[in-house]
Amino acid sequence: MTQGQEEVDAEANTEVTNKLIIFSAPSGSGKTTVVRHLLNTIPDLEFSISATTRAKRPNETHGVDYYFYTKEAFLEAVEENKFIEHEEVYNGIFYGTLKSEVDRLWAAKKTVIFDLDVQGGLTIKKYYQDRALALFLRPPSVQILEERLRNRSTESASQLEERIAKAKTELKFEHQFDKVIVNDVLSDTFATAEEVVASFLKSEV
């Protein structure tokens, strides 16, 4: 085998490991809980940290939970084409996935796992196609979702109503994902998510 062929094969093998797992769901569906479980269960996974302009909550850390941007800095990064996807998820609040974040994790030989809103998840899936597994986590019912959001007590009344309205809209997009997981009994959700992700990681792309 020539040196050139070895380099081609090495690159091909690297590309096979460059996979992504996307978890999308309406706010309050439990996707962050499921993603954290998978990170603690499957060593090859590494979380993709999103950028956002929303205010940092007391228990959050920059560079761990999110990359916290000012609105001006975020829009400047958009102009510089630094994002794979970005969106104004709520009025005046932007979220996005930095290209540098995916590159960082792939360079570390990790499979990237995302916790994204529905539109962001679909955009990532379209960008990476078969190298990405797009999973939609949905609540058992809209009523249960509303109860979960209200019980969190992390938003004002107006923000809560905005999240509920957005969640109802996002539920209409579930058929565009590779698989839908209903988050009813959490232990069952964990088991299903582990099985689906493990199968994808073993597959060839």
Question: Domain containing 160 — which CATH number?
Answer: 3.40.50.300
Say what the pLDDT of residue 13 is: 41
**Residue 85 belongs to some domain of the structure:** yes
d(CA 123, CA 177): 11
* Per-residue DSSP letter, 62: B
**Residue 2 belongs to some domain of the structure:** no
**Residue 123 belongs to some domain of the structure:** yes
- Our count of domains for the chain comes to 1
Global pTM? 0.78
**Residue 9 belongs to some domain of the structure:** no
**Residue 3 belongs to some domain of the structure:** no
Domain hosting 171: range is 18-202
Measuring CA to CA, which residue among 38, 44, 36 is closest to residue 191? 38
**Residue 11 belongs to some domain of the structure:** no
**Residue 5 belongs to some domain of the structure:** no
Count the alpha carbons within 13 Å of 130 in the hemisphere toward its beta carbon.
5
**Residue 155 belongs to some domain of the structure:** yes
Using DSSP's 3-state secondary structure scheme, residue 137 falls into strand
Residue type at 84 in one-letter notation: I
Tens digit of pLDDT per residue, the chain (205 long)? 444 444 434 343 444 469 999 999 887 788 899 999 999 999 999 999 999 999 999 999 999 999 999 999 999 999 999 999 999 988 899 999 999 999 999 999 999 999 988 888 999 999 999 999 999 998 877 777 777 677 766 667 777 777 778 778 888 899 999 999 999 899 999 999 999 999 999 998 7
Residue type at 27 in one-letter notation: S
